[in-house]
């Protein structure tokens, strides 16, 4: 007799057969009681006279038991075995989360820090020979016009010199007028023979010398007046006074350095140093958001200059951002900047989906048979929503989001589709 391994179905069949036999015994005992027999429970080995309908019931029960055993031995065990093997294989496959990233509009941003400064910081010093400062007319924070006097220097000696030169001009003009009169009389007398032509020529030369002395005297006077005018410290252009380094009573000269600093037209800027790769991505006109340290206000500006050179020591370049005047923008302060360097559409994945090794960055994608395949990628912007993939993906692939580090190329997995956003 063939040995059959025990299973849940076998136990169920045997239990059903036992219950049917017990039911038969109860019916036989019940018959004996109802028809005058002694009430007792008959044992299976005892032979008693039974009614025909009880025999039929016993036969039906035996047929049911036989049918159950036949089903188990010939048909029921195979599907269960196959299902069990399939379940066992499925339980051995790794379940991974996958998603189809699609294509999102990714804004390329570059972050940097730097200092605030005047866009055109103009130092103002003494242009003349200097002297004693008599008055200072402006304070830092004042707006001035082009040519406006910022401070004056004592010019008492220079004024006297100018008056002396003015007197010399008048003397030279008088001499020139006298020489011209003598020349005119000589011309009337030369025709009568009273003056020779040689004398006439000498008088013309005298007149020319007198006119030349007038010109020299006037030039000297103009020079002195110009020097005196340069004793005043004047604003070279309209703008905002940033600093003042001069006080009344101070002796100043051309070597005194900058006495004032003026921001031309009050324009400010931020100067941020970026890496060589970031400098390549920034262009003039890109919008920038600037936040000074210690403030929550955001100031909007534009890139107006990108450094044409890279520092060979730091491998960085300077990007200058133009800002409109605001009292909160103080030159010398520190600020952070976010440069908007354009936008493009590309797949965006969470950081957990991206793996890297000696060959570069890669992800695992699933093919039609749910097998993991390596796909090399190039990453771009990193933002709050994830990492942009600039090349290697179209956005329609099923990308493994987690457990990528534990997979091997060609490994079959159980995908669990997940929505990214």
pLDDT digits (tens, 9 = 90+) for 191-241: 776 777 777 788 888 888 888 999 998 998 888 888 887 788 899 899 999
Examine the pLDDT at 421 and tell me if it is beyond 80.
no
pLDDT at 45: 47
Mean pLDDT (the chain) is: 80
CATH 2.40.30.170 domain range(s) in the chain: 266-340
Closest to 413 (Cα-Cα) out of 98, 144, 137, 179: 98
Which helix H or strand E contains 27, and what residues bound it? helix 8-34
pLDDT classification of 76: cutoffs 50, 70, 90: very low
Between 378 and 15, residue with greater pLDDT: 378
What three-state secondary structure class fits 271? strand
Domain limits, CATH 2.40.420.20, in the chain:
95-106+346-417
Q: What is the pLDDT of residue 96?
A: 87
- Going by CATH, does the domain composed of 95-106+346-417 fall within 2.40.420.20? yes
At residue 263, does pLDDT exceed 90? Answer: yes
Domain with CATH 2.40.50.100 in the chain: 120-153+231-265
Q: Return the pLDDT at 193.
A: 67
The class (CATH top level) of 266-340 is mainly beta
Q: Are strands 299-306 and 287-292 parallel, antiparallel or unpaired?
A: antiparallel
* Class of residue 150 by CB neighbours under 10 A (exposed 0-12, middle 13-18, buried 19+): buried
CATH code of 156-230, in short, is 1.10.287.470
pLDDT digits (tens, 9 = 90+) for 91-136: 578 888 899 988 887 778 888 999 999 999 999 988 777 788 889 9
Highest mean pLDDT among 13-27, 67-81, 157-171, 257-271: 257-271
Overall average pLDDT of the 42-52 stretch: 48
Count the alpha carbons within 13 Å of 190 in the hemisphere toward its beta carbon: 14
Q: Residue 32: what pLDDT?
A: 53
For the domain covering 120-153+231-265, report its CATH number.
2.40.50.100
Averaged pLDDT, 250-279: 89
């Amino acid at each position: 007799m063939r040995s059959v391994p025990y299973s849940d179905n076998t136990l169920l069949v045997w239990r059903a057969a036992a219950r049917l036999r017990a039911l038969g015994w109860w019916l036989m005992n019940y018959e004996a009681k109802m028809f005058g027999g002694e009430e007792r429970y008959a044992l299976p080995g005892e032979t008693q006279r039974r009614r025909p309908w009880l025999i039929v019931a016993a036969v039906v029960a035996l047929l049911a038991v036989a049918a159950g055993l036949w089903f188990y031995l010939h048909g029921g065990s195979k599907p269960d075995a196959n299902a069990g093997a399939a379940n066992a294989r499925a339980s051995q496959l790794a379940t991974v989360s996958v998603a189809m990233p699609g294509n999102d509009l990714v804004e390329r941003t570059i972050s940097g820090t730097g200092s605030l400064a005047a866009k055109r910081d103009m130092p103002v010093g003494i242009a003349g020979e200097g002297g004693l400062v008599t008055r200072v007319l402006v304070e830092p924070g004042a707006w001035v016009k082009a040519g406006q006097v910022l401070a004056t220097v004592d010019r008492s000696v220079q004024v006297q010199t100018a008056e002396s030169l003015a007197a010399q001009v008048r003397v030279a003009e008088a001499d020139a007028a006298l020489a011209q009169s003598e020349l005119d009389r000589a011309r009337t007398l030369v025709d009568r023979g009273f003056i020779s032509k040689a004398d006439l020529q000498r008088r013309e030369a005298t007149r020319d010398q007198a006119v030349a002395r007038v010109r020299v005297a006037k030039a000297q006077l103009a020079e002195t007046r110009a020097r005196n005018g340069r004793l005043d410290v004047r604003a070279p252009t309209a703008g905002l006074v940033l600093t003042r380094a001069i006080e009344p009573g101070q002796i100043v000269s051309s070597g005194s350095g900058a006495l004032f600093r003026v921001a031309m037209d009050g324009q400010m800027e931020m100067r941020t140093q970026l890496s060589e790769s970031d400098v390549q991505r920034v262009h003039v006109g890109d919008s920038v958001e600037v936040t000074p340290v210690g403030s929550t206000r955001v100031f909007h500006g534009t890139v107006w200059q990108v450094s044409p050179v890279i520092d060979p020591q730091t491998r960085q370049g300077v990007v200058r951002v133009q800002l409109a005047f605001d009292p909160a923008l103080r030159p010398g302060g520190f600020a952070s900047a976010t440069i908007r360097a354009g936008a493009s559409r590309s797949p965006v994945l969470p950081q957990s989906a991206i793996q890297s090794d000696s060959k570069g960055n890669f992800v695992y994608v699933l093919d039609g048979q749910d097998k993991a395949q390596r796909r090399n990628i190039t990453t771009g912007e990193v933002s709050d929503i994830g990492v942009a993939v600039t090349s290697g993906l179209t956005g329609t692939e099923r990308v493994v989001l987690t457990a990528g580090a534990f997979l091997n190329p060609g490994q079959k997995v159980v995908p669990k589709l997940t929505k990214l956003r």
